[in-house]
Chain A
Amino acid sequence: MWYWRILGVFLIALFLSGCPKKPPPPSESEFGSPGGGQGLGPGGIQDRNLAPKEPGARTEGRIRNPGSDTGGPLSDIYFDYDAFDLSTEARNALQSHADWLRNNSATRVEIEGHCDERGTVEYNLALGAKRAKAARDYLVNLGVDANQLSTISYGEELPTCKEATEDCWQQNRRAHFLLVGR
């Protein structure tokens, strides 16, 4: 039910922006673009922000709604080509994700590993899994309850950006954090 998620995020954005009677439509950056989202504090999550609990339905939602890649309190982290080691930026982001997850210990997160198109399908599936696992292990080392975290690899199947440029490929080589339930 992706539209409930979008609606939920929209309502929260309304609330945070001080609830004017006729607000201008928020631009996408207000939803929390990559790198921007420390958004919601403890207790700030509504159930309607959460992806379905059933794994197959989660994938279906992610396929139907490419926009579901932006938003959420936990920003994406990025990887180098054909690599799954964590950069300094990625480690910094994961540090704040760990803080948030410890403060929201009832929230469960599915960590998605993604790749750019410059690989073949099956190898990228395995590479995406390594990326998701690297992010998960780092969070667990920072004291996040392992039961809060699950991983899935989407390989190169769900790119956020479809142009053949390094900038675009970089955006696709990512781990994405999807809130899936409590």
Chain B
Amino acid sequence: MKSEALTAKRPPRARFNRRPRASALLWLVLSVTTPLHVSAQINLQITKEGGQALPIAIAPLQSADGAGSGDEFAEVLSRDLDLSGYFRVISRSAEAGEGEGALPEQINFQSWSALGALALVKGVLSSDGNGLVAEVRLFDVAQGKQLGGKRYRGERRDLRRMAHRFADEVMLLLTGERGPFDSRIAFVSTRGGGRAKELYVTDLSGRQVTALTRDRSLSLGPSWDPSANMLAYCSYRNGGPFPYLLDVRTGEQNRLSSTVGYGGGRWSPDGSTIAVSLEQGGNSDLFLLTPEGRVIRRLTEDPGIDVSPTWSPDGRRLAFCSSRRGGPQIYVMDVDSGNIRRLTFRGDYNTSPSWSPKGDQIAYTTRSGGFRVMVIPANGGEAREIAAGEDPSWSPDSRYVVLSHRGRLMVARKDGNSMKELTRGGGDDTSPAWSSRLE
């Protein structure tokens, strides 16, 4: 799938050119004058603490020649923007935008304004041989101006990804930072029935769920490699449990180690090594392995439990969970020197750390009554609760964590201001892992 900004360099396709000269001119004007002051205003409104969600209308894309489902595109985009917590998606009214085109001069902005929309997304789907082209634009309704536009070219099955990509673009234009929605979430679920736990992967709509294993066994603790093609996890398919790797593209599973492991491995940010908790005389210790399973070195040597390593984005430190001084707490190790310092001091049960991709914060699970997800500065400091739930995993933009809460996956904003349901699957969905951006 390819994408490009809708700029004047590439003239619009013929079907837009009902009035060729005017349209071409308009195109030029619109694509070079993204009204920064307008997006800055909206940006300020929605990104400030406790800011109001921005009302945005998303019209179904017009399908020029039955090329693809404009409704599906709008649905995926709506869901992403709702999940972001920054937007209030205005449900489509039958009359609004009926029969009007997707170019600014064809839009009756007043009718959208009457619906309460401050921003509007419109676009067109068309065929390109066997492929699909989506041209989508974001408008400031009050000013009647285009804020940005993108043209995506891909196969027909890329429709949903195009919508996720545009959601990321809308986030960039209106919050100043690209969104995290063109990515995937791996998780563990019993939705296949009974007590078996299999691995699944979903897009950020939570509704394109694919089973990755069918072992009728227990697969636990998945995490992604940096390229989002491989999962490290832990499986009982040959007893153990043992650490495994799974190639998501082919479904191929390979045992990473013949030593019993407690949870899946975690790839270092450069992809060259995997940190994993392995059995050592009845106890768990952290080891550094090559992706082929060869032990590079042992990282901890302690009679307490050492599990759940998570890398700092520079690959120089690991946070992990250890019971070396009684109840489980989060510790941070300098990988080269082996120096370890304790990070969490509040509460007597702190587990499953996840280091944010930006590096400044660590999310973890605390138990006091129920489970809560906390965020603490990576260099130490005051922890703050962001949501009820457990086993957090950061989004690639470090603005969200996905977590499990009562058998469902939820997406929570790290500022604690929003929590939205991602999955509800007729089984227990647990242990989510958020991938990097797909491209």
**A binding-site residues for B, Cβ under 8 Å:** 54-56, 58-60, 63-64, 66, 82, 118-123, 125-127, 129-130, 132-133, 136-137, 151-155, 157-158
Q: How far is the CA of A58 from the CA of B238 in the complex (A)?
A: 9
Q: A58-B239, A129-B284 are in contact. List 9 more A-B contacts (CB 8 A).
A: A63-B217, A118-B367, A121-B352, A122-B221, A123-B307, A123-B352, A126-B306, A129-B282, A130-B283
Q: How far is the CA of A126 from the CA of B305 in the complex (A)?
A: 6
- CB neighbours of B241 from chain A (8 A): 125, 152-153
- CB neighbours of B239 from chain A (8 A): 54-56, 58-59, 152
Contact A152 B220 (CB under 8 A): no
Using a CB-CB cutoff of 8 Å, which residues 341-400 of chain B contact chain A? 349, 351-352, 365, 367, 371, 390-391
For residue B83, give the distance in angstroms from its CB to the closest CB of chain A. 24
- CB neighbours of A118 from chain B (8 A): 367
Q: How far is the CA of A120 from the CA of B350 in the complex (A)?
A: 9
Contact A157 B217 (CB under 8 A): no
Contact B307 A126 (CB under 8 A): yes
Residue B327 interfacial (CB < 8 Å) = yes
Contact B217 A122 (CB under 8 A): no
Q: How far is the CA of A128 from the CA of B321 in the complex (A)?
A: 15
Known: A125-B262, A126-B305. A55 touches B238 (CB 8 A): yes
- CB neighbours of A152 from chain B (8 A): 239-241
Residue B79 interfacial (CB < 8 Å) = no
Closest residue of chain B to A157 (Cβ to Cβ) is: B218
Q: How far is the CA of A121 from the CA of B218 in the complex (A)?
A: 12
- CB neighbours of B197 from chain A (8 A): 157
| Subset of 27 A-B contacts with CB under 8 Å | A55-B238, A55-B239, A56-B236, A58-B239, A60-B216, A63-B194, A63-B195, A64-B195, A118-B367, A119-B367, A120-B351, A120-B367, A121-B220, A121-B263, A122-B262, A122-B307, A122-B308, A122-B351, A123-B305, A123-B323, A123-B328, A126-B283, A126-B305, A127-B305, A129-B262, A129-B283, A153-B262
For residue B360, give the distance in angstroms from its CB to the closest CB of chain A. 23
Which 9 A-B pairs have CB atoms at the shortest separation, nearest pair first?
Answer: A55-B239, A133-B282, A122-B263, A126-B284, A59-B236, A125-B262, A126-B305, A120-B351, A56-B238
Q: How far is the CA of A40 from the CA of B261 in the complex (A)?
A: 35
- CB neighbours of A137 from chain B (8 A): 282
Known: A56-B237, A130-B305, A152-B240. A123 touches B218 (CB 8 A): no
Using a CB-CB cutoff of 8 Å, which residues 235-288 of chain B contact chain A? 236-241, 260, 262-263, 277, 279, 282-284
Contact A64 B238 (CB under 8 A): no
For residue B87, give the distance in angstroms from its CB to the closest CB of chain A. 32
Contact A130 B282 (CB under 8 A): yes
Residue B43 interfacial (CB < 8 Å) = no
Contact A121 B328 (CB under 8 A): no
- CB neighbours of A122 from chain B (8 A): 220-221, 262-263, 277, 307-308, 321, 351-352
Q: How far is the CA of A127 from the CA of B306 in the complex (A)?
A: 10
Q: How far is the CA of A88 from the CA of B92 in the complex (A)?
A: 67
> CB < 8 Å: which of B195, B237, B283, B351 contacts A119?
B351
For residue B186, give the distance in angstroms from its CB to the closest CB of chain A. 14
For residue A9, give the distance in angstroms from its CB to the closest CB of chain B. 20
Q: How far is the CA of A30 from the CA of B196 in the complex (A)?
A: 28
Which one of B234, B305, B390, B431 has the highest number of Cβ atoms from chain A below 10 Å of its Cβ?
A: B305
Residue B430 interfacial (CB < 8 Å) = yes
Contact A64 B216 (CB under 8 A): yes
Known: A63-B194, A63-B196, A130-B282. A123 touches B308 (CB 8 A): yes
Q: How far is the CA of A152 from the CA of B352 in the complex (A)?
A: 21
Known: A55-B239, A130-B305. A63 touches B277 (CB 8 A): no
- CB neighbours of A60 from chain B (8 A): 216-217
Closest residue of chain A to B430 (Cβ to Cβ) is: A121
Q: How far is the CA of A64 from the CA of B195 in the complex (A)?
A: 7
Closest residue of chain A to B326 (Cβ to Cβ) is: A82
- CB neighbours of A64 from chain B (8 A): 194-195, 216
Q: How far is the CA of A148 from the CA of B24 in the complex (A)?
A: 83
- CB neighbours of B221 from chain A (8 A): 121-122
For residue B365, give the distance in angstroms from its CB to the closest CB of chain A. 5
Q: How far is the CA of A151 from the CA of B281 in the complex (A)?
A: 11
Q: How far is the CA of A129 from the CA of B279 in the complex (A)?
A: 9
Contact A55 B195 (CB under 8 A): no
- CB neighbours of A153 from chain B (8 A): 241, 262
- CB neighbours of A158 from chain B (8 A): 195
Q: How far is the CA of A158 from the CA of B218 in the complex (A)?
A: 10
For residue A11, give the distance in angstroms from its CB to the closest CB of chain B. 26
> CB < 8 Å: which of B196, B277, B349, B365 contacts A126?
B277
Contact B218 A82 (CB under 8 A): no
- CB neighbours of A121 from chain B (8 A): 220-221, 263, 352, 391, 430-431
Contact B218 A63 (CB under 8 A): yes
For residue A169, give the distance in angstroms from its CB to the closest CB of chain B. 13
For residue A118, give the distance in angstroms from its CB to the closest CB of chain B. 7
Closest residue of chain A to B308 (Cβ to Cβ) is: A122
Contact A126 B218 (CB under 8 A): no
Known: A63-B196, A130-B305. A123 touches B282 (CB 8 A): no
- CB neighbours of A157 from chain B (8 A): 195, 197, 218, 220
- CB neighbours of B352 from chain A (8 A): 120-123
For residue A161, give the distance in angstroms from its CB to the closest CB of chain B. 13
Using a CB-CB cutoff of 8 Å, which residues 306-333 of chain B contact chain A? 306-308, 321, 323, 327-328
Using a CB-CB cutoff of 8 Å, which residues 191-243 of chain B contact chain A? 194-197, 216-218, 220-221, 234, 236-241
Closest residue of chain A to B221 (Cβ to Cβ) is: A122
Q: How far is the CA of A132 from the CA of B281 in the complex (A)?
A: 12
